[in-house]
Structure 1
Amino acid sequence: MPGRTDSSAATDSTDTPPPDRDPRTAEAACPTGTAPAASTVRLPADETRRGPARLLPARTPYRRQLRRIGAGAVLEIGCGDGDTLAGCAPGSVGIDHDPQSVARCRARGLTAYTPDAFLAGPHARPCAFDALLTAHVLEHLDDEQVEGLLRAYVRYVRPGGGVLLITPQEAGHRAGPAPVRFTDFALLRAFAESAGLRVRRTYSAPLPRPAGMLLRSNVFVLVGQVPR
């Protein structure tokens, strides 16, 4: 289990060998018939940005990050109103525990579900997606919830598929709605490895790591891969 204390490590790492287990066969850390909850609906509107932050979009759609894990259908956990989902490939699906967010996604012509509706729906098939994305979600969950969420949903990504884990840096962390703890490169790596993923790379985006002290949109990014 990842440690519960904050970590300030911020390195761009090379590939890490995957643990000796297959996340697609792991038990989900949630009761039968339910799914872990996640949402970006609590993120505040970024209307008070100053300085260099004004030059960047209020909500980064992460299209550049998605290109790093290849084209294909994405399963987005915590899709909010679908800003990122709207830029994903056909066949992509969003999951959010807030029914109003799901309704807004569907009003935009996107495919989205609440967690339990996803499990009961036609898209909940093992290895059905090419990639998994979760952005601005993990910092709001404790260790057991993060592990349960990743193990529950990684099984729906094909072997060799990509995984993107994105969390805010200092300025975004301070601005967020009561995050559980600062989730940096070290914790992202620990969570990915605990879920049986291969860590391909970690990096800071859209600007180098020091910008995270002032820029709310600067994030930690982990690029992982489901073992083949």
Structure 2
Amino acid sequence: MTMTNEPVDKTDATEPSTAGTKYADRLTRLSGQRWKQALDVQAPYRRNIQRLTLGKTLDVGCGIGRNLAYLSKESVGVDHNPHSIQVARDRGLDAYTTDEFFDNPQVAVKGGYDALLAAHLVEHMPLDQTVEIMESYLPFLKDGARCVFICPQEMGYKTDDTHVLFADFAVLQEVCGRLGLKFEYEYSFPFPRVVGKVFPYNEFVVVSRKG
């Protein structure tokens, strides 16, 4: 049998869900580990989000609000997992389930957002589903709004059984193209691309623009 360290595309498989209490609890547990708090391991990722200066952002797939907490105060988070949304709300963040967002005209404002962030979302679903979901949020972005996609590299991809699609730079550029977004630039964070094969927290970052 040939062994490989490359990620496997699992989009045809039945994978564990990101929708239940168990997944929300896992995110909370991982983010609250003492060593992570003591070392402030989120500091570089916090600065990475903040230096993008995205303005009022629609954080799609916000989870428990890890990135939402670093965005501008008027930003809004959306996630299909109501348990994750409750955790985000308990942290004082403005977060909504998918249904709540679309049913609330005060937050689902056409052209009301400066940017869209999809961080650690694309890898959880087949590509066609990503495009369908992202399309539904584009009307709420201003013309010229930036769209930022962040996904794990090889080692990070392997750490979560709910990851089904390895979304590298090429895949994320395809997402941008299918959505009619103008690709602007991409980078590996926080370390060079090669590090992603051994370091689980290295990320692909792709920045694009609407219109």
Q: TM-score range with shorter-chain normalisation?
A: 0.7 to 0.9
Asked whether the equivalents of residues 169 and 213 of structure 1 are also in contact (C-alpha less than 8 Å), the reply is: yes
Asked whether the equivalents of residues 38 and 78 of structure 1 are also in contact (C-alpha less than 8 Å), the reply is: no
Asked whether the equivalents of residues 140 and 178 of structure 1 are also in contact (C-alpha less than 8 Å), the reply is: yes
Aligned-partner Cα distance in 2 for 1:188–1:84: 19
Stretches of structure 2 that go unaligned for 5 or more consecutive residues are 1-7, 10-17
Structure-2 change in CA distance of 1:60 and 1:116 (3 Å) = farther
Look up the match of 1:193: 177
Q: Deviations over 1:87-120 (max 9, x none)?
A: 1112100001111111121122211100011001
Asked whether the equivalents of residues 127 and 165 of structure 2 are also in contact (C-alpha less than 8 Å), the reply is: no
Question: Which has the larger share of helix?
Answer: 2
Q: Secondary structure at the match of 2:184?
A: strand
1:67 to 45, 51, 76: 51
2:70 is the alignment partner of 1:87: yes
Aligned-partner Cα distance in 2 for 1:113–1:128: 16
Q: Write the letter of the residue equivalent to 1:217.
A: Y
Q: Deviations over 1:107-138 (max 9, x none)?
A: 22211100011001121011101110011110
Q: Secondary structure at the match of 2:102?
A: helix
Q: Secondary structure at the match of 1:167?
A: strand
Q: TM-score, normalised by structure 2?
A: 0.79
Q: Write the letter of the residue equivalent to 1:207.
A: F
Look up the match of 2:202: 218
Q: Deviations over 1:144-164 (max 9, x none)?
A: 211111111122111111111
Asked whether the equivalents of residues 49 and 67 of structure 2 are also in contact (C-alpha less than 8 Å), the reply is: no
Percent identical across equivalent pairs?
35
Q: Deviations over 1:193-218 (max 9, x none)?
A: 10110000011001110110111110
Structure-2 change in CA distance of 1:98 and 1:150 (3 Å) = same
Structure-2 change in CA distance of 1:194 and 1:62 (3 Å) = farther
2:110 is the alignment partner of 1:126: yes
Q: TM-score, normalised by structure 1?
A: 0.74
Asked whether the equivalents of residues 136 and 167 of structure 1 are also in contact (C-alpha less than 8 Å), the reply is: yes
Q: Write the letter of the residue equivalent to 2:83.
A: Q
Look up the match of 2:150: 166
